[in-house]
A = this chain, B = another copy of it.
Amino acid sequence: MGGIHVLENAVVGFIGTGVMGKSMAGHLLSAGYPVHVYTRTKAKAQDLLERGARWAETPGEIAEKANIIITIVGFPSDVEEIYLGQDGLVANGKENTYLIDMTTSTPSLAQKIHAEAKKKGMHALDAPVSGGDIGARDARLAIMVGGDEEDFKRIEPLLQLLGTNIILQGPAGAGQHTKMCNQIAIASNMMGVIESVVYAEKAGLDPENVLKTIATGAAGSWSLSNLAPRVIQGNFEPGFMIKHFIKDMNIALEEAAKMNLDLPGLALAQSLYRKLEEDGLGDKGTQALYKYFMKSL
């Protein structure tokens, strides 16, 4: 626990208390840290405030009060404003503050924030997560970190309050790149899972019996075991929303394009999901890809 010294005097700032952020900030409160929170809609922080968290009116106010700041917000544009805006964390923060962005955002923005923070003697890390609402609630998130090794070691004890699979993947941006690898693997697999269910139904099979056979072998995947049953039950409520998945796929495609890398599976998956969003299904879960096939039948 090499990070114990910095953490002894840690004052935590937490920006973004959505479903995941709320659980995560709660774990830090439970561990005894003073926590200052800011989020766009104050009502979403109410539970935390009742548990002793203190409210800040702006990201800049968080920056003035905290020396370890965690952010988990919506889109890269939100991250950019919170970190690099006039009233943001870098402009208003103190030397030696640790800045940890756990939003799924762009690798290039993570690198820019790292560089800008460094100019002011601050330490920025990108640390997106996987594991969803349940992983956040149970403090079992996978955390993919990019940044300087020394900084990672300092804040690792804090991350251990939030997750169980915490790996420094490389320099600034590497956490975001790793998250992109995760989303790329999911994107094409979702097509395979949904096409498999649609084929089963069209062929007159009982898709539940089909899953009993195929989910345990070489076709097996998390999505086949967890999302295909929801499709069969007609449940399209979001574990992970289509609109957020499209955001992630867009980032991955843009980053791939910068690397002159053509990812045809990802591009196809993104195009199918965009059609669903155009049809007003952006707030549904990713398993609603099924509806693309129902429409085209």
Chain A residues at the B interface, C-beta cutoff of 8 Å: 107, 130-132, 135, 142, 144, 165, 167, 169-170, 174, 177-178, 180-193, 195-200, 202-206, 209-210, 212-214, 216-224, 226, 240, 252, 255-256, 259-266, 268-269, 272, 293, 296-297
Contacts of A192 in B (CB 8 A): 184-189, 192, 265-266
Nearest chain B CB to A251's CB is how many angstroms away?
A: 11
Q: Determine which of B132, B181, B223 lies in contact with A214 in the assembled complex, contact meaning CB atoms within 8 Å.
A: B181
- The distance in angstroms between the C-alpha atoms of A198 and B177, with both chains bound, is 12
Nearest chain B CB to A31's CB is how many angstroms away?
A: 23
Contacts of A191 in B (CB 8 A): 188, 264-265
12 other contacts beyond A178-B210, A189-B189, A221-B224, with CB at 8 A cut-off?
A: A131-B218, A174-B205, A177-B199, A177-B204, A178-B205, A181-B214, A185-B195, A186-B218, A188-B189, A189-B221, A191-B265, A219-B222
B169 adjacent to A181 (CB under 8 Å):
no
- The distance in angstroms between the C-alpha atoms of A27 and B206, with both chains bound, is 31
B186 adjacent to A219 (CB under 8 Å):
yes
- The distance in angstroms between the C-alpha atoms of A93 and B260, with both chains bound, is 60
B184 adjacent to A196 (CB under 8 Å):
yes
A182 adjacent to B221 (CB under 8 Å):
no
Q: Determine which of B178, B187, B197, B213 lies in contact with A178 in the assembled complex, contact meaning CB atoms within 8 Å.
A: B213
Contacts of A293 in B (CB 8 A): 261-262
Contacts of A144 in B (CB 8 A): 213
Contacts of A174 in B (CB 8 A): 203-205
Contacts of A256 in B (CB 8 A): 199, 202
Q: Determine which of B170, B181, B213 lies in contact with A165 in the assembled complex, contact meaning CB atoms within 8 Å.
A: B213
Q: Determine which of B177, B180, B193, B266 lies in contact with A185 in the assembled complex, contact meaning CB atoms within 8 Å.
A: B193
B142 adjacent to A265 (CB under 8 Å):
no
A185 adjacent to B165 (CB under 8 Å):
no
